[in-house]
C-alpha cells in the first residue's frame, strides 16, 4: 500500500511542536534516571543493609511492580482527564517518590517508595509518547517520539554520573535517589504552559480548542484538512462503538499481535539486565572497585545517548523496519560476544575490554531499534478511540516482562552462569528479528488515520482471500 497521505504536508513545521515534544520528553528523562540510578546505588545499599541477592532483586524490581499499576491506570486516566493533566500528575508522583526513597530508613520502606515511584514511571512510559505522537506532524512523528527515548538515555547517563559522583560519599545512595526530585519539579512547572493533545480535544468534541492547538503546533499553516481527517476517523470509531475489546477483532488482531510481540521482546532480549546490573556485571568481569565499575557503566550510558541521537535523525529518513532489523542483528552478535567473554573464566585485561565493548555494542544496537521503536510503533498503530487503552495494555505487558527478567537475572546467573544467561538473551533477540521481519509494517510518513484505515482494508482483504496482506 502506498504511503501517500490524502492531505498536503506543511512546508514548514512549527518550532513550537518541538518545544512541546521536548518538555513532555522530560518524563523520559525521569523514567531513565529512576530506573538507571539504582544500578550504582544498589552497590552501596546492599552493603549498608547487608542484602542478599534475592533482596537486591526485590529492591531493584520494586519500581517495576509500581510501573505495572501505573501503566494499567494510565490509559483510563489519560482518556478521561487528558494527556497533559496525566503527565502533570506523574511529575508530582516522581518528586514525592524520589524523596521517599532518599529518606528510607530500611529496605522495606525503600522498596515501598520505589513501588510508588514506579507508578510515575509507568504513567510516563505510556502517556508521554502518546502525547507526542498525537501532537506531531506526520513527517516528524518518528523523530519527535524518539526524543522520549533520547530523554530516557540521557536520564540513564545522568544517573550513572550521579552514581559516580556520590559513590564515595557517606550515605551517597540517598543523594543518588533523591536528586530525581529536581527534574520532576521542572517537568511539573513546564507542563502547565503546554497545550492538550489536539486529537484528545477532538475526542471530547472541543473542536475550536483542537483547531487552535493544531494551528500553533503546525506553525500557522492551514489545518482544516488534518482536522477533518482526525474528526472523520474518530466519528467512524464512535459510530462503531469501539472499545479495547475490539483489539480481539479481526480488524485489529494484527496490531494486537505486533504490540504484544514488541512489548515482550523489548524486555526478554535482556536490556534491563544491562541497565540495572551493569556495575554488577562489570564487577563479575573483574572490575574490582565499585567506583571503577560505575565509571565503566558511564561509558555504556554515553554510548546509549549517542546511538539514540543518531536514531533520531534516521528514523524518518530510513524508516522503522531498517533500523529495527539492523539493531536487532547487533543485539544478537553482542550478546553472543558477552557470553563468550564470560566463558573464558578469569578475564585478562583484553577480555575485560572485550566485555565492556560488547556491552556498548549491545546498548547501541538496542538504542536504535527495540528501545525507541516500541514506543513509536505502538503509538502509531491503534485507532484514536482506543489508542490510550491499547498502549496501556501493551506497556503493562512490557513492564510485566521487565519485572520477570529483572527478578530472575541474578538467580539465572547463579544457576546457569553468565555465559548461558547472555546466550539465552541472544536467542530471544534472534526470535525478535524473525518476528519483526515477518509481521511488522512500515509506518514512516503516514498519518495516524491512514495507518488505521490500512488495518481495516487489510482485514477486508483477508476475509476475501485467506493470505494476510500487511501494509509494509
pLDDT digits (tens, 9 = 90+) for 195-207: 999 999 998 999 9
Lowest mean pLDDT among 123-127, 158-162, 184-188, 344-348: 344-348
Average pLDDT of span 353-359: 79
Residue 345 three-state SS: coil
Q: Is the pLDDT of residue 452 over 70?
A: yes
pLDDT of res. 284: 62
Average pLDDT of span 254-269: 93
Q: How far apart are CA 462 and CA 360, in angstroms?
A: 43
pLDDT of res. 470: 41
Q: How far apart are CA 426 and CA 446, in angstroms?
A: 32
**Among all chains, which residue has been given the C-alpha cell 519483526?**
436
Q: How confident is the model at residue 28 (pLDDT cuts 50, 70, 90)?
A: very high
CATH of domain 15-194+243-464: 1.20.1250.20
Residue 183's nearest CA partner among 204, 158, 200 is 158
Q: How confident is the model at residue 328 (pLDDT cuts 50, 70, 90)?
A: very high
Q: Is the pLDDT of residue 426 over 90?
A: yes
Q: Name residues whose C-beta falls within 8 Å of residue 338's C-beta, 6 or more positions apart in sequence.
A: 355, 358, 359, 362, 418, 422
pLDDT of res. 419: 83
What letter does residue 310 receive in the DSSP assignment? H
Q: Is the pLDDT of residue 468 over 60?
A: no
- E strand or H helix at 21: helix 15-36
* Phi and psi, residue 250, nearest 5°: -55, -35
Quickly count helices (H) and strands (E) in the chain. 20, 0
Lowest mean pLDDT among 129-133, 168-172, 220-224, 333-337: 220-224
pTM: 0.77
Residue 467 three-state SS: coil
Q: Name residues whose C-beta falls within 8 Å of residue 324's C-beta, 6 or more positions apart in sequence.
A: 369, 370, 373, 436, 440
Given a contact cutoff of 8 angstroms between Cβ atoms, the answer to whether 32 and 151 are in contact is yes
Given a contact cutoff of 8 angstroms between Cβ atoms, the answer to whether 168 and 299 are in contact is no
Q: How far is CA 393 from CA 71, 109, 123, 245, 366, in A?
A: 8, 29, 12, 11, 22
pLDDT of res. 244: 64
Q: How far apart are CA 57 and CA 335, in angstroms?
A: 22
Residue 111's nearest CA partner among 152, 66, 59, 161 is 59
Tally of CB atoms within 10 A around 292: 16
What's the pLDDT tens digit per position in 57-109?
Answer: 788 888 888 988 998 888 889 889 999 999 999 999 999 999 999 999 999 99
Q: Is 286 left (phi over 0), alpha (psi -120 to 50) or beta?
A: left
Given a contact cutoff of 8 angstroms between Cβ atoms, the answer to whether 96 and 151 are in contact is no
The rounded mean pLDDT for the chain is 84
Given a contact cutoff of 8 angstroms between Cβ atoms, the answer to whether 438 and 325 are in contact is no
Q: Which three cell numbers stand for residue 179?
A: 536528586
Q: How far apart are CA 341 and CA 285, in angstroms?
A: 9
Q: Which three cell numbers stand for residue 219?
A: 506553525
Q: Is the pLDDT of residue 464 over 50?
A: no
Q: Is the pLDDT of residue 471 over 80?
A: no
pLDDT of res. 341: 77
Average pLDDT of span 439-455: 83
pLDDT of res. 458: 61
- HSE value, Cβ hemisphere, 13 Å, CA-based, for 60: 34
Q: How confident is the model at residue 437 (pLDDT cuts 50, 70, 90)?
A: very high
Residue 170 three-state SS: coil
Domain residue limits, the chain? 15-194+243-464, 203-242
Q: Which three cell numbers stand for residue 12?
A: 514548514
Residue 324's nearest CA partner among 267, 368, 271 is 368
Amino acid at each position: 500500500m502506498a504511503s501517500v497521505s490524502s492531505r498536503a504536508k506543511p512546508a514548514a513545521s512549527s518550532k513550537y511542536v518541538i518545544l512541546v515534544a521536548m518538555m513532555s520528553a522530560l518524563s523520559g528523562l525521569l523514567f531513565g534516571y529512576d530506573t538507571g540510578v539504582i544500578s550504582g546505588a544498589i552497590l552501596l545499599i546492599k552493603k549498608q543493609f547487608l542484602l542478599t541477592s534475592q533482596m537486591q532483586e526485590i529492591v531493584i524490581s520494586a519500581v517495576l511492580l509500581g510501573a505495572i499499576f501505573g501503566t494499567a491506570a494510565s490509559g483510563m486516566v489519560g482518556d478521561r482527564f487528558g494527556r497533559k493533566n496525566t503527565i502533570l500528575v506523574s511529575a508530582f508522583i516522581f518528586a514525592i517518590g524520589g524523596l521517599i526513597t532518599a529518606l528510607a530508613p530500611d529496605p522495606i520502606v525503600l522498596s515501598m517508595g520505589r513501588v510508588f515511584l514506579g507508578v510515575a514511571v509507568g504513567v510516563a512510559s505510556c502517556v508521554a509518547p502518546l502525547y507526542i505522537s498525537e501532537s506531531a506532524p506526520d513527517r516528524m512523528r518518528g523523530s519527535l517520539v524518539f526524543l522520549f527515548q533520547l530523554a530516557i538515555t540521557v536520564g540513564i547517563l545522568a544517573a550513572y554520573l550521579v552514581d559516580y559522583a556520590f559513590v564515595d560519599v557517606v550515605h551517597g545512595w540517598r543523594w543518588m535517589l533523591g536528586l530525581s526530585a529536581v527534574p520532576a519539579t521542572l517537568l511539573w512547572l513546564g507542563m502547565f504552559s503546554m497545550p492538550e493533545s489536539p486529537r484528545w480535544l477532538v475526542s471530547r468534541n472541543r473542536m475550536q480548542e483542537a483547531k487552535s492547538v493544531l494551528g500553533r503546533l503546525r506553525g500557522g499553516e492551514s489545518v482544516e484538512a488534518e482536522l477533518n481527517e482526525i474528526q472523520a476517523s474518530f466519528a467512524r470509531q464512535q459510530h462503531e462503538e469501539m472499545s479495547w475489546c475490539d483489539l480481539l477483532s479481526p480488524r485489529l488482531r494484527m496490531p494486537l499481535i505486533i504490540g504484544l510481540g514488541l512489548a515482550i521482546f523489548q524486555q526478554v532480549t535482556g536490556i534491563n539486565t544491562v541497565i540495572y546490573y551493569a556495575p554488577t556485571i562489570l564487577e563479575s568481569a573483574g572490575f574490582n572497585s565499585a567506583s571503577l565499575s560505575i565509571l565503566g557503566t558511564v561509558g555504556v550510558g554515553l554510548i546509549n545517548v549517542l546511538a539514540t541521537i543518531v536514531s533520531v535523525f534516521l528514523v524518518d529518513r530510513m524508516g522503522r523496519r531498517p533500523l529495527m532489523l539492523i539493531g536487532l542483528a547487533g543485539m544478537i552478535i553482542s550478546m553472543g560476544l558477552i557470553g563468550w567473554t564470560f566463558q573464558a573464566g578469569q578475564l585478562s585485561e583484553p577480555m575485560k575490554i572485550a566485555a565492556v565493548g560488547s556491552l556498548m555494542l549491545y546498548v547501541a544496537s538496542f538504542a536504535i531499534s527495540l528501545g525507541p521503536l516500541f514506543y513509536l510503533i505502538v503509538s502509531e498503530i491503534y485507532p484514536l478511540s482506543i489508542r490510550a487503552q491499547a498502549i496501556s495494555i501493551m506497556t503493562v505487558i512490557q513492564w510485566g516482562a521487565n519485572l520477570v527478567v529483572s527478578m530472575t537475572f541474578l538467580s539465572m546467573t547463579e544457576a546457569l552462569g553468565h555465559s548461558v544467561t547472555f546466550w539465552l538473551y541472544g536467542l530471544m533477540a534472534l526470535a525478535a528479528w524473525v518476528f519483526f521481519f515477518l509481521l511488522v509494517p512500515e509506518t514512516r510518513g503516514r498519518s495516524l488515520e491512514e495507518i488505521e484505515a490500512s488495518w481495516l482494508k487489510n482485514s477486508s482483504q483477508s476475509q476475501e482471500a485467506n493470505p494476510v496482506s500487511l501494509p509494509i
